[in-house]
Every structure is written in C-alpha cells, then in structure tokens.
Amino acid sequence: MSQKHQLIALLFALALVAAQCGSSAMPSQPPQKGITITNTTARLSGANGAIFLDLLNNSDQDDALIKAETDVATTEIHETTIDADQVMHMQPIPKADLPKGQTVNFKSGGKHIMLIGVKEGVVPGNKVKLTLTFEHAAPMSLEVTIGDGPTGHDGGEHKMDGEHGMDMPKK
C-alpha cells in the first residue's frame, strides 16, 4: 500500500474514533425544566369517568395542579383515601401538590381527574382535549385517549358524600 493510501486509511480510522468519542464525550442533555406529563389515559364508567397521568415537576420550585378542564365533561381534581374502617372516600380537592423534583401519579385509588357528566357520543378510542392549570407553571394542553374498561374503581356499593364525592367499601 502506498504512503498516500496509508495516510488516507489512518485519517479515516481517526475520524471513526473521533465520531464515536464525540457523542459519548458530550455531556448528556439535562432533563427538561418545568412540568412533564406522561402515561396519560382516560376511562369511562357510565356518564362519568377519570383521567390518569403522571406529572413530573422538574422546575426549581414546588408547584400544584389547581384546575383541569375539558370540553366533554365537568372536571374536578379528586383524591381517593381509605379510612380506618377500610371504606374508600373519593373527594374533590382544591389542588394537587407537585413537589419539585418529584413525580406525582394520578391513578385509580389515588389522585385523579374526575370527569362528571361526560357528553353523549364520547366513547373509547376518542381523543379528549385536556388543559391543566398550575399555580406557577404555564397552562398545558394535551389530548388524552379514552381507553377501554371502567375507571378502575372496584364497582362496590357507592354512597354519595357531598355533591360528587363517593364512599366505596374496600373489597
């Protein structure tokens, strides 16, 4: 092999090594600042339903979800708790705290966004526009797909507690 070809081969090999080192030597991207929404889904149960999601607060301060809105139903932020008699209580809450650096899960049996009086014609597979309002972060809008199946509550006896709250014996 001529000296010219050896030089070209050497330069090519160095370029390959530099390309591989370049991507791993660069610092990784920091996580996105602000609120990140993941794992969204919604479920219907008759004329009502619930939206479940995860909210990561990657900002420099504590925040809170203070309102959720959609054009297909009245919405409330709810929390399900279990009392000393093992009865589940689902109650509206004024806000859901989002401590900085933490993920808050909105899930069945815990915090969730309640859909009350879902409009006729909304069925599994539909996408629903949801707007979330926070104490500090800017409002965020997203689409949530209505999934198959019930809201995740066990279907036990339901006793209304207040206008929309519900007591459910834990099975």
**Which residues does residue 37 pair with via DSSP β-bridges, in sequence order?**
55
How much is the pLDDT for 149? 72
Return the pLDDT at 112. 97
Q: Is the dihedral of CA 83, 48, 155, 147 positive or negative?
A: negative
Which tokens is 70 given?
């959609």
From residue 13, alpha-carbon distances to 9, 21, 22, 25, 147 in Å are 6, 12, 14, 18, 52
- The model carries a pTM of 0.71
Q: What are phi and psi of 161, to 5 degrees?
A: -125, 95
Q: What is the mean pLDDT of each run of 10 residues along the chain (171 residues)?
A: 52 42 46 89 94 96 98 96 92 97 96 96 95 97 89 38 40 42
pLDDT for residue 57:
97
Domains in the chain (CATH in brackets) are 35-169 (2.60.40.1890)
The single-letter DSSP state of residue 4 is H
Q: What's the rounded Cα separation, in Å, for the pair 151 and 141?
A: 22
Q: Would you call 133 exposed, middle or buried from its count of C-beta atoms within 10 A (0-12, 13-18, 19+)?
A: middle
Q: What is the DSSP string of 36-85?
A: EEEEEEEEEETTEEEEEEEEEE-SSS-EEEEEEEESSSEEEEEEEEE-TT
DSSP letter at 152 equals: S
Other CB atoms within 10 Å distance of the CB of residue 61: 11
Q: Rounded to an integer, what distance in angstroms lies between the CA atom of residue 170 and that of residue 130?
A: 30
pLDDT of residue 58: 96
pLDDT of the residue at 4: 54
